[in-house]
């Protein structure tokens, strides 16, 4: 029997966290290429450290995008995050570009040719998840962890001389009773701040953002509300710790409340199933829950490099399902073509919509008018209902 009463914790990190700086730069470059050529191929990694960024990876796209354009994109991404500090400044940082052309061997396996459909860009397994814990159909701990940091970031961007810096982390622990979250038992927020602020002052700056995000009556006891528990957080971002693309994959997805296939998202164009198939799995799982066919749903797909059809599609509803899971798997595959091309076309992923995904979660966000977060739509829920 599944455990009914327990504590569960998830964390988030802000757009100014060193790893998230790298995700933002990599996805800004993805958008740069897709904005110029919807069928460009991009796999770009970023390293950030004290006043330095290194770009590496492989691309296939328009000739008019070269090292200078990639370096400008990196500076723009760092400027938009808000880094103008002595140890990390968008204008003065050194940017090294080591990006080169895509491997011909990889291109041959992925490209469509003759009777061969476009293949998966790599082997791997991808997961999607949805549940009824929040209106966004996301697990509650990660949902609130993201929202606290997003609220702090919005306030920082809105205030010209904000006392808060870009780097921040949050962690939310919730009490579950009968399998449902009922209150927070502890909240941790660490945020970079101006040198003149004392810990108690930072605590009171953070408090209203936490109270605004948590449901009424959910605030943890005062002794379990930890703000900058080390006491001081002035040096932050890549000046305080090195960052790399793709190191916050649990933050990016479900906060540990659902399985993860292991592949990162940022820096990859949508032919890479690490990204596109994970989006498709979330889309399917969310529609299953939105249709009332289950209260909780996880979907796994798997692929082989160069092969278009998924090797497996697995559906798990944790005993909450209202329909047969085998039939549900078949119906989902009839409604959505889960080949790499089918996913890209159904969710219209060949657009410059990725920089915005690089912080505060790839899932649980509102679909946007220009196609951003298209995988959060629930537009096949009615078809799923009719199928059963």
Q: What is the pLDDT of residues 86-101, one digit of tens each?
A: 999 999 999 999 999 9
* C-alpha–C-alpha distance, residues 385 and 311, integer Å: 26
Residues identified as active-site: 17, 19-20, 45, 58, 169, 233, 241-242, 247-248, 268, 272, 274
What DSSP line would sit under 70-131, residue for residue?
Answer: HHHHHHHHHHHHT-EETTEETTTSEEEEEEEEPPHHHHHHHS-BTTBPPPBSS-EEEEEEEE
Q: Hey, which residues does 171 pair with through a beta bridge? A: 11, 188
- The percent of residues above 90 in pLDDT, for the chain, comes to 91
Confidence of residue 116 (pLDDT cuts 50, 70, 90): low
Q: What predicted TM-score, i.e. pTM, was given to this entire model? A: 0.95
Q: Cα-flanking dihedrals φ and ψ of residue 125, to 5°?
A: -120, 145
* C-alpha–C-alpha distance, residues 26 and 188, integer Å: 28
Lowest mean pLDDT among 40-54, 94-108, 258-272, 370-384: 94-108
Is 168 labelled a binding residue? yes
pLDDT at 108 > cutoff 60? no
- Alpha-carbon distances, residue 336 vs 341, 345, 382 (angstroms): 11, 10, 14
Report the candidate in 101, 113, 240, 220 with the shortest Cα–Cα distance to residue 169. Answer: 240
Q: What is the pLDDT of residues 208-244, one digit of tens each?
A: 999 999 999 999 999 999 999 999 999 999 999 999 9
Average pLDDT over residues 33-59: 97
According to the model, what pLDDT value does residue 107 have? Answer: 57
Average pLDDT over residues 48-71: 97
Average pLDDT over residues 245-254: 98
Is 247 labelled a binding residue? yes
pLDDT at 376 > cutoff 70? yes
DSSP 191: E
Is 102 labelled a binding residue? yes
Confidence of residue 121 (pLDDT cuts 50, 70, 90): confident
pLDDT at 269 > cutoff 80? yes
Can you list the domains of the chain with their CATH numbers? 6-13+140-236 (3.30.300.10), 124-132+273-387 (3.30.300.10)
CA 78 and chain centroid, separation: 18
Is 58 labelled a binding residue? yes
* C-alpha–C-alpha distance, residues 49 and 23, integer Å: 14
Q: Are 10 and 364 in contact (CB under 8 A)?
A: no
Is 272 labelled a binding residue? yes
Beta-carbon-side half-sphere exposure of residue 267 (alpha carbons within 13 Å): 27
For the chain, give the mean pLDDT.
95
Is 19 labelled a binding residue? yes
Is 45 labelled a binding residue? yes
Report the candidate in 56, 69, 80, 60 with the shortest Cα–Cα distance to residue 355. Answer: 80
Confidence of residue 117 (pLDDT cuts 50, 70, 90): low
State the residue for tokens 């050529």: 37
Q: What is the pLDDT of residues 1-35, one digit of tens each?
A: 567 899 999 999 999 999 999 999 999 999 999 99
Confidence of residue 37 (pLDDT cuts 50, 70, 90): very high
Is 17 labelled a binding residue? yes
DSSP 305: B
Q: Are 243 and 21 in contact (CB under 8 A)?
A: yes
């Amino acid at each position: 029997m599944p455990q009914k009463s327990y504590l569960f914790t998830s964390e988030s990190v802000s757009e100014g966290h060193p790893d998230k700086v790298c995700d933002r730069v990599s996805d800004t470059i993805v958008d740069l290429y897709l904005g110029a050529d919807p069928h460009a191929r991009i796999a770009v990694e970023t390293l950030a450290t004290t006043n330095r960024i290194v770009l590496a990876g492989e691309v296939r796209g328009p000739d008019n995008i070269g090292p200078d354009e990639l370096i400008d994109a990196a500076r723009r991404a760092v400027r938009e995050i808000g880094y103008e500090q002595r140890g990390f400044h968008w204008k003065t940082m050194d940017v090294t570009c080591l990006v080169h052309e895509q491997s011909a061997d990889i291109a041959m396996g992925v490209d469509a040719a003759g009777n061969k459909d476009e293949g998966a860009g790599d082997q791997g397994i991808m997961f999607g998840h949805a549940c009824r814990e929040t209106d966004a159909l996301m697990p509650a701990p990660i949902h609130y962890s993201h929202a606290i940091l997003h609220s702090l970031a919005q306030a920082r961007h809105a205030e010209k001389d904000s006392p808060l810096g870009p780097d921040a982390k949050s962690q939310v622990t919730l009490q579950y009773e009968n399998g449902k979250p009922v209150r927070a038992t502890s909240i941790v927020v660490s945020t970079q701040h101006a040198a003149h602020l004392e810990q108690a002052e930072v605590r009171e700056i953070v408090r209203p953002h936490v109270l605004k995000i948590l449901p009424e009556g959910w605030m943890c006891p005062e002794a379990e509300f930890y703000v900058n528990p080390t006491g001081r957080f002035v040096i932050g971002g890549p000046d305080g710790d090195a960052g790399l693309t793709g190191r916050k994959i649990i933050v990016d997805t479900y906060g540990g409340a659902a399985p993860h296939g292991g592949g990162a998202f940022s820096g990859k164009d949508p032919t890479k199933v690490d990204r596109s198939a994970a989006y498709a799995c979330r889309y399917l799982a969310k529609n299953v829950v939105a249709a009332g066919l289950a209260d909780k749903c996880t979907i796994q797909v798997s692929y082989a490099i160069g092969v278009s059809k998924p090797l497996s599609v697995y559906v798990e509803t944790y005993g909450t399902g209202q329909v047969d899971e085998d039939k549900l798997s078949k119906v989902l595959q009839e409604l959505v073509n889960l080949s790499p091309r089918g996913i890209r076309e159904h969710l219209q992923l060949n657009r410059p919509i990725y920089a915005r995904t690089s912080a505060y979660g790839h899932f649980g966000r509102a679909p946007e008018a220009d196609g951003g977060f298209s995988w959060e739509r629930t537009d096949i829920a009615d078809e799923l209902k009719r199928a059963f």
